[in-house]
Amino acid sequence: MTGRERIMAALNHQEPDRIPRDLGSTPSSGISAIAYGNLLDHLQMPKRPIKIYDVVQQVVQVDDDVVDHYGIDVLDIGRTFNTASADWKPFPLADGKTGYVPAWFNPVPQADGSFLVYQHDTLIARMPVGATFFDQTCFPYLDDYPESFDDLDEQMKMVLWSALVHSPWDHSSDPNFWQELRARALKLRAESDRALMVVCGCNLFEWGTFLRRIDNFLCDLLVDEENVQRLLDALLQIHLRTLENVCRAVGDVCDILRFGDDLGINTGPFMQPDIYRRLFKPYHQKLNEYVHRHSNMKTFLHSCGSIYRLLPDLIEAGYDVINPVQISAFEMDPKTLKKEFGKDITFWGGGCDTRDILNHGTPEHVREHVKQMADIFAPGGGFVFGAVHNILPDCPPENIDAMFTSLDQL
């Protein structure tokens, strides 16, 4: 089977010839720059620029030879942008090595070694000394909701997740962007037999936390539903405009569209299920319905944490795929997830715990763990292998290698 056939079989709850694999098709299923550099050294692969396409999380664009080496079955169409050497410039990593960031990214180095990012003279992000992630510092609606959301688009650009967006969206203001996106996606599809992913975001709950700050927005869910509803209405209109363009440009080219909305923490959902059903589920349903009605793409939701109690509603809302399947979180037991929801949604991730095993275990521990997770999730299809979220700098390269090579023995 080809990579595309393998992924699509899994999404249709059929068992492919082997377990399909992901590394780097989304900014929540990738690998950080430091871990990637260490992996390249471990594999003794030729030296090359380590391209950090998601500058907020310092997540890299995985090179073609690494994709081939590990038999990865899915690609992000964003990799078709920023292909010239002039599109990248050096950036110091916390381990003393050098990575490369998009040429448009201009963080301001400080005397103490930290970095600041400004937008229209406003500080919007900061990376402390030794850190591997930029933190948000600007919350446009911190004090209160505005009377009108007419300028919501502009306020969203003051948030690091929008201002420092990854490819292909860092080119969204280019002339003929949508035509170019289609042309490049078509070329990638013609040249590769792997499945294609388009990452769209279209977050709802998370945009509330980005604009209001998480403590305020969580309180709003309990005491200010009217303004939450107003914000969600405005966000939905923006997201539907985006989806209209995406579906028109690549809805017949890409296989999966990735949404994002972190709804859980280690100990449970951010909100009670009844609040989710009342405030967010109707909007998630509309987003899914639009994609399914206007394209051939499956819908993929990235949602961290313990979301067991929300999964029935997420399935009813129309999601085809859930990621990253945080198996270390409360009530996220793999056997329970597969038994109760395995016929209704595809688990994308959950293949190796990044909190305790991939970073702290031995290669043998990793291999045993991967086999256990595969034995649970793979039967009957509905499983795409990946680590639980991004592979972070503290993960030893021999463990990363063991994680993928152990799949060849299943």
- Separation of alpha carbons 293 and 318, rounded Å: 12
> 278 pLDDT exceeds 90?
yes
Which segments within 8-114 are labelled E, that is strand?
Answer: 52-54, 59-60, 74-76, 88-92, 98-102, 108-109
CA angle 269, 270, 272 (to 5 degrees): 70
Render pLDDT for 360-374 as a digit per residue (tens, 0 to 9): 999 999 999 999 999
Percent of the chain with pLDDT over 90: 100
Instruction: With beta carbons less than 8 A apart as the criterion, state whether 369 and 334 touch.
Output: no
> 410 pLDDT exceeds 90?
no
> 390 pLDDT exceeds 90?
yes
> 329 pLDDT exceeds 90?
yes
> 148 pLDDT exceeds 90?
yes
Q: How far does Cα 217 stand from its chain's mean position?
A: 22
Average pLDDT over residues 27-37: 98
The pLDDT value given to residue 407 = 95
Please name the helix (run of DSSP H) or strand (run of DSSP E) that holds residue 269, with its range, or none.
strand 268-269
Residues 6+ apart with CB under 8 A from 275: 221, 222
- Mean residue pLDDT of the chain comes to 98
* DSSP track, 319-375: -SEEE---TTSTT--HHHHHHHHTTTSEEES-SB-TTTHHHHS-HHHHHHHHHHHHH
In this structure, the strands spanning 298-302 and 256-260 are parallel
pTM strictly above 0.95: yes
Average pLDDT over residues 210-227: 98
Render pLDDT for 83-104 as a digit per residue (tens, 0 to 9): 999 999 999 999 999 999 999 9
Q: Indicate the domain borders of the chain.
A: 3-30+62-81+141-409
CA distance readout (Å), 91 to 30, 149, 258 = 19, 37, 28
| β-strand partners of 384 | 348
pLDDT band at 297 (very low <50, low <70, confident <90, very high): very high
- CA 395, 398, 401, 403 torsion: positive or negative? negative
> 359 pLDDT exceeds 90?
yes
CA distance readout (Å), 83 to 22, 61, 63, 105 = 21, 11, 12, 16
Instruction: With beta carbons less than 8 A apart as the criterion, state whether 286 and 237 touch.
Output: no
| β-strand partners of 74 | 195
Q: 3-state DSSP call for residue 409? A: helix
Average pLDDT over residues 277-297: 98
- Separation of alpha carbons 133 and 125, rounded Å: 10
Render pLDDT for 168-211 as a digit per residue (tens, 0 to 9): 999 999 999 999 999 999 999 999 999 999 999 999 999 999 99
> 325 pLDDT exceeds 90?
yes
Average pLDDT over residues 236-258: 98
Q: Return the CATH number of the domain spanning residue range 3-30+62-81+141-409.
A: 3.20.20.210
Which segments within 33-79 are labelled E, that is strand?
Answer: 52-54, 59-60, 74-76
Instruction: With beta carbons less than 8 A apart as the criterion, state whether 243 and 299 touch.
Output: no
The pLDDT value given to residue 186 = 98
